[in-house]
Structure 1
Amino acid sequence: MHVVHVASEVFPYSRSGGLGDVLGALPAQQAKLGAEVTVVSPWYASITEPVREVWRGELNELPRDLGEVRVAEAVREGVRYVFVGLSVFDRPGLYHEDDVYRFSMFGRAVLPVLARLRLLPTVLHGHDWQAALVVARARLARLRTVYTIHNLQYQGKWNMYEGRYWTALPEFAYGLDGLEYFGEINLMKGGLNFAHQVTTVSPTYAQEITTPEYGEGLDGLLTRLSIEGRLSGIINGLDQERWNPRSDPYVPSFSDLRGKQAATQALRKEFGLDDAPILATVSRLAEQKGMDLLIEALPELVKDWNVVVLGGGDPLLTAALTGWAQHPRVAFTQGMNEPLSHRIYAGAYAFAMPSRFEPCGLSQMIAMRYGTLPIVRETGGLVDTVPHDVGFHFRDATHTALKAACDAALNTPPAEWARRVDHAMSLDFSWSGPARQYLHLYQRLTGQ
């Protein structure tokens, strides 16, 4: 079986968040289980990992003014990585305001590139809206397709006039059963309609997105897919080697609560914190992540906690946290910093995830692996991954509910806390189970 994953980012070559982490780990695990696996992603100007150019030329399937296409390869952990170089990806960074155009060009290039390299997929597996056009084109080419929603909020919408020209699909594809969405094109809707099977990254999120509250305008379509048996949830895994407190190069190694104390003291020293427990978060700064709730709760939280935040995003939230960083019990570092994130996960006492919605989430899994207990809102993958006898849950998306859950954590007796930490560090979040679930799904689709 040859599985071809298509995604806008893949760790360690390109990454802005959880999508890149998933594509860095899931294909490798599938390769270990015996599948032939290829990952196709853009060849961004910012990629610094070594890759080898294998083809260069023009593709008839693309507009001529796009110029030459460059294709590179790399092999890592038994997985072939194919990078499609287009002029629209020559800018610094991964994402820009014209991404619907950029990923439409990418979507038109993927299948011709695979044909040039003689890489015929048994199953093509597209991820999020940036790969939706590839899924639609693969279905039209009679390939078996799986489409995974990592975050339904971002759908790839544009006006119909330019969108039709960019995507260049047959006329029937722009109807209600295709890409049309209130007079616009919607790439994600096209992926949902054309895929043989749709998955999302946790069972609870798969249920939530069939409701108006979480369905982002596509709840009707998703409900139909669910009724037809074409929608399911498979929880994400975690790269157990990259996130391993016993061998992490960025923190003092430890395997239990007692050993964790060295990491906690190092984090206190790094940020000049006092002896109050450390509440941390590593997150994109967005209302989806509930970061505004955390900021609203800060006046009360700093009475009992040190608060450490690492992340970037919304300018207003960034400005608010920058102001709060003047407080002796608040430490804020803007942007993403891989070594620092490891030190925070390892050294914190508890980890806050007050998300309004959370398709799966990796941070809570990482935190538990490092013995840092999550304080989470009951939604999506947080429900599916954080046991009630490990973390602390709250229902309402309010700063008062978040503060109450933090109080419950703070008032937990030491013996009970130690038991929760031991349980957290024993949980298995490896990719082995999810990778097998996806392979079984492919087998059902193909009869192999």
Structure 2
Amino acid sequence: MRVVHVGSEVFPFSRSGGLGDVLAALPAVQARQGADVAVVSPWYASLVGAPQVVWEGDVPDAGPVTVGELREGGVRFLFVGLRAFERPGLYHDDDVERFCAFGRAVLPVLDALEITPDVLHGHDWQAGLVVAHANLRGWRTAYTIHNLQYQGRWTLHEAWGWTGLPDWAMQAEGVEFHGDLNLMKAGLWFARHVTTVSPTYALEITTPRYGEGLDGLLVSLARQGRLSGILNGLDQARWDPRTDPEIQPYKNALGKAVNTAALRGEFGLDAAPILGVVSRLADQKGMDLLLMALPDLVREWNVVVLGGGDPLLTAALTGWGHHPRVAFVPGLNEPLAHRVYAGADAFAMPSRFEPCGLSQMIAMRYGTLPVVRETGGLVDTVPHEVGFRFADATPEALTAACAEARTVYKKRAVWKSRVKRGMELDFSWESPARHYLELYARL
């Protein structure tokens, strides 16, 4: 099976979030399962690594193109270099135009390298145009929604010339969306099959509450049997408390206590249990709910928050820096993230919606019990006998769930049994990768 994945980022070469993790782990496991796998992504100025140039040329309406290649874990990584990606950083305000250029360049690059996949698998809105052009060639295509909220929209009259799509697609029965070009819709409309990253999220997005204006199209896809949910996996080699070089490695709750003491000492926290948060600071993640709940939470918890994003949420959390039971570190800090997962007792994810989520999986693998809102992938991954779930997206519901966790924490034998169950859960990519290969075979 020849598979080409297309996405905007891939760890460790380029990454801003979970998409990069998926495009690192899933292709590698599929390669181990016998597939011939390539990943196509932009060649950013800030790309980590030194790809070998394998092709240079001009692509109509995309301009000069340089293609670099790296091979790792049995996967061929191809990086498409365009003028649009020569600036530092991954994402910018003109990303719709940039990823239209990328979308125009990918298939000519595959042609030049004599790669014709059995299935082209696009990921999120940045790959929507690639899927559309592949479908118009008659290629078999799969398309995965990692987060429906981000859709790649731009005024249609300005953006249409960027796409290279036929005029008949410039309508509601195509890629038009309320007067805009919508690259997420392009992927949904043209793909032979659409997946998203958990079964519960696949159901949720067919409703007006979670459908982000595309629920009508998604209902239609579901009725046709063209929409399904395949739960993301976790890179269990990268996130393994037994071998993690960023912490004091451990196999059980007894070893975890050393890391809890270290995190307590790092931030000068008292003897109360530690509630950890590693998150984008965004309303989607319920970080405003966490802020509103903090006055109640700090009565019984130390709270350690690592994350960056919304400036207002960042400023509000910074304002809590004086409190002896609150530690906030802004931005991305991979080593600290490992220490929080290993050292916290519980882990808060009060998400308004969560397509899949990796943090709750990591937390349980590290013996840290998640406190999560019942939505999306959090429903599919956090068993009642391990974590603590709440229904309403309110600070009161979050506080009540944390209070329940605090009560159980006092029952040390019960808490340790939950920790043990969580650490034994299997979140590997083996099963999801097989499900994708079975989907490709059906296509």
Q: TM-score range by the shorter chain?
A: over 0.9
* CA shift digits 1:57-98 (9 cap, x unpaired): 2113x25xx4x2111000000000000000111111100000
**Equivalents in 2 of 1:158, 1:406: separation in Å?**
41
1:275 is aligned to 2:239? no
* Alignment-mate amino acid for residue 12 of structure 1: P
Counterpart of 2:89 in structure 1 is 93
Q: How does 1:201-350 map to 2 (within 5 A)?
A: 201-350=197-346
Q: Secondary structure at the match of 1:261?
A: helix
Q: How does 1:347-386 map to 2 (within 5 A)?
A: 347-386=343-382
Displacement of 1:124 in angstroms is 0.2
The answer as to whether partners of 2:12 and 2:48 remain within 8 angstroms in 1 is: no
**Equivalents in 1 of 2:86, 2:330: separation in Å?**
26
**Equivalents in 1 of 2:261, 2:154: separation in Å?**
50
**Equivalents in 1 of 2:379, 2:293: separation in Å?**
22
Q: Secondary structure at the match of 2:37?
A: strand
* Alignment-mate amino acid for residue 334 of structure 1: P
The answer as to whether partners of 2:298 and 2:325 remain within 8 angstroms in 1 is: yes
Displacement of 1:161 in angstroms is 1.1
* Alignment-mate amino acid for residue 400 of structure 1: E
Counterpart of 1:27 in structure 2 is 27
Q: How does 1:3-152 map to 2 (within 5 A)?
A: 3-60=3-60, 62-63=61-62, 66=63, 68-152=64-148
Counterpart among 419, 428, 438 of residue 430 in structure 1: 428
Q: Secondary structure at the match of 1:365?
A: helix
**Equivalents in 2 of 1:50, 1:185: separation in Å?**
35
Q: Secondary structure at the match of 1:58?
A: strand
Counterpart of 2:437 in structure 1 is 439
Counterpart among 185, 188, 193 of residue 189 in structure 1: 185
Counterpart among 385, 392, 395 of residue 389 in structure 1: 385
1:2 is aligned to 2:7? no
Q: Secondary structure at the match of 1:355?
A: coil
**Equivalents in 1 of 2:66, 2:361: separation in Å?**
38
1:165 is aligned to 2:165? no
Displacement of 1:414 in angstroms is 1.0
The answer as to whether partners of 2:345 and 2:369 remain within 8 angstroms in 1 is: yes
Displacement of 1:326 in angstroms is 1.5
1:174 is aligned to 2:173? no
* Alignment-mate amino acid for residue 26 of structure 1: L
* Alignment-mate amino acid for residue 175 of structure 2: L
* Alignment-mate amino acid for residue 57 of structure 1: G
**Equivalents in 1 of 2:357, 2:49: separation in Å?**
26
Q: Secondary structure at the match of 1:416?
A: helix
Point out the more displaced range, 179-188 or 313-322.
179-188
**Equivalents in 2 of 1:384, 1:308: separation in Å?**
26
Displacement of 1:177 in angstroms is 2.0
Displacement of 1:174 in angstroms is 1.2
**Equivalents in 1 of 2:322, 2:19: separation in Å?**
33
Displacement of 1:263 in angstroms is 0.6
Q: TM-score scaled to structure 1, two decimals?
A: 0.98
**Equivalents in 1 of 2:164, 2:306: separation in Å?**
41
**Equivalents in 2 of 1:363, 1:49: separation in Å?**
26
Displacement of 1:100 in angstroms is 0.3
**Equivalents in 1 of 2:13, 2:268: separation in Å?**
34
**Equivalents in 2 of 1:25, 1:50: separation in Å?**
20
**Equivalents in 2 of 1:59, 1:358: separation in Å?**
38
* Alignment-mate amino acid for residue 434 of structure 1: P
Displacement of 1:48 in angstroms is 2.3
Displacement of 1:266 in angstroms is 0.8
* CA shift digits 1:293-351 (9 cap, x unpaired): 00000011111111000100000000000111221111111111111100000000000
Displacement of 1:269 in angstroms is 1.1
Q: Secondary structure at the match of 2:319?
A: helix
**Equivalents in 1 of 2:173, 2:248: separation in Å?**
54
* CA shift digits 1:395-427 (9 cap, x unpaired): 000001000000000000111100000000000
The runs of 4+ residues in structure 1 deviating greater than 6 Å are none
Give identity over the alignment, percent. Answer: 68
Displacement of 1:275 in angstroms is 0.9
* Alignment-mate amino acid for residue 326 of structure 2: V
Q: Secondary structure at the match of 1:411?
A: helix
Structure 1: segments with no counterpart, 5+ residues: none
* CA shift digits 1:359-403 (9 cap, x unpaired): 000000000000000000000000000000000000000001000
The answer as to whether partners of 2:386 and 2:418 remain within 8 angstroms in 1 is: yes
* CA shift digits 1:153-173 (9 cap, x unpaired): 000111111211111211111
The root-mean-square deviation of aligned C-alpha atoms, in Å, is 0.7
Q: TM-score scaled to structure 2, two decimals?
A: 0.99
Displacement of 1:50 in angstroms is 2.7
Q: Secondary structure at the match of 1:374?
A: strand
**Equivalents in 1 of 2:324, 2:170: separation in Å?**
56
